[in-house]
Amino acid sequence: MKKYWWQDAIIYQIYVRSFNDSNADGIGDIPGIIEKIAYLKSLHVNTLWISPHYDSPMDDNGYDVRDFFKVAEEYGTLEDFKSLIKVAHDHDMKIITDLVLNHTSDEHPWFIAAKDPAHPDHKKYHDYYIWHTGFKNDAGEPERPTRWISWFGGSVWDYNSPTESYYLHIFSKKMPDLNWRNKAMREELKSMIQWWVDLGIDGFRIDASNHLEKNWEFPDDEPGYQHFSSLPKHHDYLQELADELFIPNNLLIIGEAGGASKQEALQYAGFESNEFNMLIHFGHVWVDVDDSNRLTPGKWAKGEVHLSRIKSALKHWIDIFHEKGWNTLYWHNHDHPRVVSHYGNDAPEHRVASAKMLATLLYGLPGTPIIYQGEEIGMTNVDYTELSDFKDVEVFTEYDNFMRHGASHEVAMQALRDRARDNARSPMQWTNEPFAGFSTVSPWMPVVQNYSTINVQAAQKDDHSILAWYQMLMQWRKDEAIGFSYPTFYQLDRDDRFAYSLKGQSHAYYIVGNFTDQPLDWDADVDLESMRLFASNTQTSEDALAPYETRIYQSL
Ligand code: NOJ
């Protein structure tokens, strides 16, 4: 049944900056990760995904790489990173890191040379990036080549006077896009990848992988996403990396590519293909967008959550990869709200039950789990009241947009508290000590005040904690090889509850959950006579499911 080691892996994503500060500077670091390896082991985690650890001016918390060969000073040294690899391997854990290939920092030496005609290496590096002279208006002033909008809001073009041209950046203006048509540039990136592999890295998560190719005709359009997303030629680049590096080095490759079609998903990560081993697609992540909201539009527009949409999205991806590839199971990563606040209920009386219910809905399905730090203790969205509490570069361009659309400050702040990426980036809550035990000094971004009750230490002391539930679920997945199962029954309709059945290695299971804050009468979809209750997150009564109750029944 098992072909690859990662098919029964349990992956845990670490956002370094917010995970654990070992040297009292308010910023998480690599030694801080090493301190928590035993904790991660207790969660049955055997693979760590480390978000960018490279030297960076941190405009986008490390996704803006200044030096691919250096560890960010505030995170530690290369020696620390080597120790992390060693300690992880000694504990039978693999390490995968983020690989940011679509862009660099504007402080990367390549871009410094590229933007400056007087630089001795200008000629070589200019073409590593994407330039356009733009147009002149009637007054003879430069005008942007197109109206394309960056993923962080605002134009993708910024003017560089010394070259009298615009450079392209589909994220922040401090993240110029690389020109993947340039072979010399690709060769340099490939040597860099091999360098990390030689250091002992077991794989990568490929950032923004579907954006590597652009439409070089630069047609005018707004927002123009189709001109820098999922263009056919980006597969050639990924294939080149796969052939030369990923496959020969036997790496685990997880690609980030939102919005892939079925055919494309299999091209990325089907068993017959080999660009990636797994795909992060975000199919179920934004199913509650209110398209009528004009003040805070797009992902910022919080609408009603329909469980049926979440279930369909999950099933869609299970079916795409069934027998043809491998599925990933995750609620969210560092770019999304916290799942208990987003799809569950973070009110004190419902938080624990709803977090366990959501975990059960997801982690009984086929594929490899990727748990995002803090999810396992039910960390919530932030409680920030000041705009300056937020730190994400995206927040500030988008806040300005909300104001332009006529939103009030309060409406804008609520949109941020509901949807901003910072919700997932507040410091990890370890204890009820000051700064949540994340640091002994004031952290780089504020701790959420509920840390006094929501923290790892409290969860470890409580047999009924969300953490204990995650430990149980992960153990169960391992014992029963749940990742290899395929639902024998899966209820798609109904917004109030989910239900599915599966066959584990030694038993059959029926799983059900109440997605609402009300008791729910129910009839089992299978004959429970031949089953016993294996796990429940609340005190169960025979015929009603308590608010957010979830149950797992096991065949006798
Ligand atoms: C996707 C990453 O997950 C996100 O955090 C980052 O801002 C962009 N790619 C740009 O690297």
Pocket of ligand 1 (CB under 6 A): 60, 63, 100, 171, 207-208, 256, 334-335
Domain residues for the domain of 76 are 5-102+179-469
Choose the final residue of a domain: 143, 168, 193. 168
CA dihedral 248, 253, 259, 264 (to 10 degrees): 30
Does 198 score more than 90 pLDDT? yes
The pLDDT-based confidence of 55 (bands split at 50, 70, 90) is: very high
- Indicate if 405 and 551 belong to the same structural domain: no
Does 437 score more than 90 pLDDT? yes
Whether 475 maps to a domain, the answer reads: no
The pLDDT-based confidence of 318 (bands split at 50, 70, 90) is: very high
Choose the final residue of a domain: 438, 469, 500. 469
Q: Report which protein residue has its CA nearest ligand 1's atom 3.
A: 335
Average pLDDT over the chain reads 97
Does 542 score more than 80 pLDDT? no
Q: Report which protein residue has its CA nearest ligand 1's atom 6.
A: 63
| 3 state SS of 534 | strand
Distance from C-alpha of 25 to C-alpha of 444, rounded to nearest angstrom? 9
Whether 174 maps to a domain, the answer reads: no
Does 1 score more than 90 pLDDT? no
Any idea what the CATH number is for the domain that residue 151 is in?
3.90.400.10
How do residues 15-46 score in pLDDT, each as one tens digit? 999 999 999 999 999 999 999 999 999 999 99
- Indicate if 366 and 495 belong to the same structural domain: no
How do residues 150-165 score in pLDDT, each as one tens digit? 999 899 999 999 999 9
Does 320 score more than 90 pLDDT? yes
The pLDDT-based confidence of 541 (bands split at 50, 70, 90) is: confident
- Indicate if 192 and 224 belong to the same structural domain: yes
Whether 476 maps to a domain, the answer reads: no
Distances (CA, A) of 347 to 62, 306, 380, 396, 461: 33, 19, 10, 28, 22
Residue 378 is predicted with a pLDDT of 98
| Candidate from 207, 395, 396 with most ligand 1 atoms within 8 A of CB, to mutate | 207
Please state whether the peptide bond connecting residue 223 to the residue before it is cis, i.e. omega within 30 degrees of 0.
yes
Residue 71 is predicted with a pLDDT of 98
User: pTM score, two decimals?
Assistant: 0.98
Whether 477 maps to a domain, the answer reads: no
Distance of CA 371 to the CA centre of its chain: 10
Instruction: Count other C-beta atoms under 10 Å from residue 325's C-beta.
Output: 22
Distance 459 CA to ligand 1 centre (A): 31
| Candidate from 335, 421, 425 with most ligand 1 atoms within 8 A of CB, to mutate | 335
- Average of pLDDT values for 435-458? 98
- Matching residue, tokens 């990923």: 246
Q: Which residues, other chains included, contact 48 with Cβ-Cβ below 8 Å and sequence gap of 6+?
A: 11, 12, 13, 14, 33, 40, 88, 93, 94, 95, 96
- Nearest atom (ligand 1) to Cα of 333: 3
Choose the final residue of a domain: 120, 136, 168. 168
Domain count, the chain: 3
Any idea what the CATH number is for the domain that residue 90 is in?
3.20.20.80
Residue 539 is predicted with a pLDDT of 73
The phi and psi torsions of 508 (rounded to 5 degrees) equal -95, 155
- Indicate if 549 and 441 belong to the same structural domain: no
Residue 521 is predicted with a pLDDT of 93
Distance 538 CA to ligand 1 centre (A): 38
Any idea what the CATH number is for the domain that residue 523 is in?
2.60.40.1180
Residues above pLDDT 90, as percent of the chain:
97
Q: Is 146 exposed, middle or buried (0-12, 13-18, 19+ CB in 10 A)?
A: buried
Distance from C-alpha of 175 to C-alpha of 155, rounded to nearest angstrom? 13
- Indicate if 212 and 323 belong to the same structural domain: yes
- Nearest atom (ligand 1) to Cα of 335: 5
Give the DSSP letter of residue 404: H
- Indicate if 364 and 501 belong to the same structural domain: no
Cβ–Cβ under 8 Å, residues 324 and 270: yes
Q: Report which protein residue has its CA nearest ligand 1's atom 5.
A: 335
- Average of pLDDT values for 503-509? 98
- Nearest atom (ligand 1) to Cα of 64: 11
- Indicate if 22 and 123 belong to the same structural domain: no
How do residues 404-418 score in pLDDT, each as one tens digit? 999 999 999 999 999
Residue 2 is predicted with a pLDDT of 84
Whether 478 maps to a domain, the answer reads: no
Whether 533 maps to a domain, the answer reads: yes
Does 225 score more than 80 pLDDT? yes
Residue 358 is predicted with a pLDDT of 98
- Nearest atom (ligand 1) to Cα of 208: 9
The pLDDT-based confidence of 274 (bands split at 50, 70, 90) is: confident
Does 292 score more than 80 pLDDT? yes
- Average of pLDDT values for 84-110? 98
- Indicate if 428 and 336 belong to the same structural domain: yes
Whether 435 maps to a domain, the answer reads: yes
- Indicate if 429 and 445 belong to the same structural domain: yes
- Indicate if 214 and 264 belong to the same structural domain: yes
- Indicate if 395 and 250 belong to the same structural domain: yes
The pLDDT-based confidence of 459 (bands split at 50, 70, 90) is: very high
Q: Report which protein residue has its CA nearest ligand 1's atom 10.
A: 63
Distance 255 CA to ligand 1 centre (A): 12
Distance 63 CA to ligand 1 centre (A): 6
- Indicate if 363 and 422 belong to the same structural domain: yes
Instruction: Just list the catalytic residues.
Output: 207, 256
Distance 294 CA to ligand 1 centre (A): 25
Provide the strand spans (E) within 257-367: 278-280, 328-329
Distance 556 CA to ligand 1 centre (A): 47
- Matching residue, tokens 């748990």: 371
